[in-house]
Amino acid sequence: MSELRIGLVGTGGIGRTHIERINTKLQGAKVVACADPAAAFGLSIAEKFGIKGYEDPIAMINDPEIDAIINTTADEYHEQFVMAAIKAGKYVFCEKPLAPKADACKRIVEAEMAAGKKLVQVGFMRRYDAGYRQLKEAIETRKYGEPLLLHCAHRNPEVPDSWDNSSAVENSMVHEIDVLRWLLGENYKTAEVRYGKATSKAKEGLHDPQIMILTTESGVRIDVESFVCNGQCYDIRCEVVCEDAIMNLPKPATIEVLANTVRGNAVDADWSTRFVDAYNTEFQAWINGCKEGRVDGPTAWDGYCCQVAAAAASKARDTQTIVDVVYDEMPDFYK
């Protein structure tokens, strides 16, 4: 296959960024078509990018001129378009979460197993961040001994009006739920969410900040601060306390600026700049994998595991208790 022909469904902000990224920066693929559940909107974006527009996303997914699918629709549409891609036997990249509920993720897992081939990759871009990869290597090789504790933070300057109290776990800390499971190479055992003293800057109905506490099967204890209306900047932290050393996720390098009697470094305003390199690496790897006939990023099973833990954390928050994280047994297909 010379160039992978991608059809993208879901032409909101993140979808448009991925079209731009693939068509101008990456190699070996082009987004040649797009569609959106809001048909007229999808067609207008197709015109803007000079690519083919489809009124019906399913028609695009089934078109033999399309080799692979990117699904960047709103979360509630994820399942139906991932299922359609599996049915068409096409590779599909789905932005996180694979689906909002674990049972929907499980249906996707089952459909993929029935198709007999891994086709689905979930958009957990942090696994492609250079800093997290360095941490993973040090943890895997036990260079500094066993990891014991993780202290993490996920801070956003502001969040959309659509956010409610569940969004901190289900929209934001799902990144930590995935990337820390991957870093440590083990599943979670319990989840808990407690509240900090509330900022007056969050809209009504959203208690901010929140602290999620997870334990893993081997007993590693993790705390994640989610402070999504901090009004300052996008700040992602991950400190890993090991038996022989303390490791910290490196901060992206930026120029040091001396101005107005202050010396400092610019910080990210949001996730799109903080993780831009990770997104580029993630999509280049996905394109290469599709062309070589494999999925080597986060699988549908990883997407399912993430939503199981997110559901436990949400329940823990709503009941202010500690909730067990209980997964189904991992099928051989994903081992």
What is the Cα–Cα distance from 153 to 170, expressed in whole angstroms?
15
Task: Give the x/- contact pattern for ligand ISE in 226-265, rule: CB under 6 A.
Answer: ----------------------------------------
Distance of CA 153 to CAs 196, 234, 275, 277, 324, Å?
Answer: 13, 10, 15, 20, 22
Strand 256-259, strand 262-265: pairing = antiparallel
Provide the minimum distance between the beta carbon of 272 and ligand ISE in the complex, in angstroms, as a whole number: 8
Residue 278 CB partners (closer than 8 Å, separation 6+): 125, 126, 127, 128, 129, 130
Whichever of 51 and 278 has its CB closer to ligand ISE, that residue is 278
| Subset of 173-202 contacting ligand ISE (CB under 6 A) | 175
- Running DSSP on this structure, what letter comes out for residue 212? E
Among 11, 71, 171, 190, binds ligand ISE (CB under 6 A): 171
HSE-CB of 127 using CA atoms within 13 angstroms = 24
Stretch that binds ligand ISE, among 27-35, 45-53, 171-179, 215-223 (CB under 6 A): 171-179
Number of residues that bind ligand ISE (CB under 6 A): 5
* Interior/surface letters 187-197, b for 16+ CB within 10 angstroms, e for the rest: bbbbbbbeeee
Provide the minimum distance between the beta carbon of 127 and ligand ISE in the complex, in angstroms, as a whole number: 13
| Subset of 144-163 contacting ligand ISE (CB under 6 A) | 156
Whichever of 17 and 288 has its CB closer to ligand ISE, that residue is 17
Whichever of 36 and 268 has its CB closer to ligand ISE, that residue is 268
Please give the sequence-ordered ranges of beta strands (E in DSSP) within 1-132, or none if there are none.
4-9, 29-35, 52-53, 68-71, 91-95, 120-123
What is the Cα–Cα distance from 323 to 320, expressed in whole angstroms?
9
Task: Give the x/- contact pattern for ligand ISE in 258-297, rule: CB under 6 A.
Answer: -------------x--------------------------
Among 11, 172, 216, 307, binds ligand ISE (CB under 6 A): 172
Provide the minimum distance between the beta carbon of 247 and ligand ISE in the complex, in angstroms, as a whole number: 22
Under 8 Å between Cβ of 176 and 154: yes
What is the Cα–Cα distance from 216 to 77, expressed in whole angstroms?
31
Stretch that binds ligand ISE, among 169-177, 212-220, 278-286, 302-310 (CB under 6 A): 169-177
Taking the chain, what is the end-to-end CA distance rounded to the nearest angstrom? 28
Q: Does 307 bind ligand ISE (CB under 6 A)?
A: no
Provide the minimum distance between the beta carbon of 174 and ligand ISE in the complex, in angstroms, as a whole number: 8
Positions that interact with ligand ISE (CB under 6 A): 156, 171-172, 175, 271
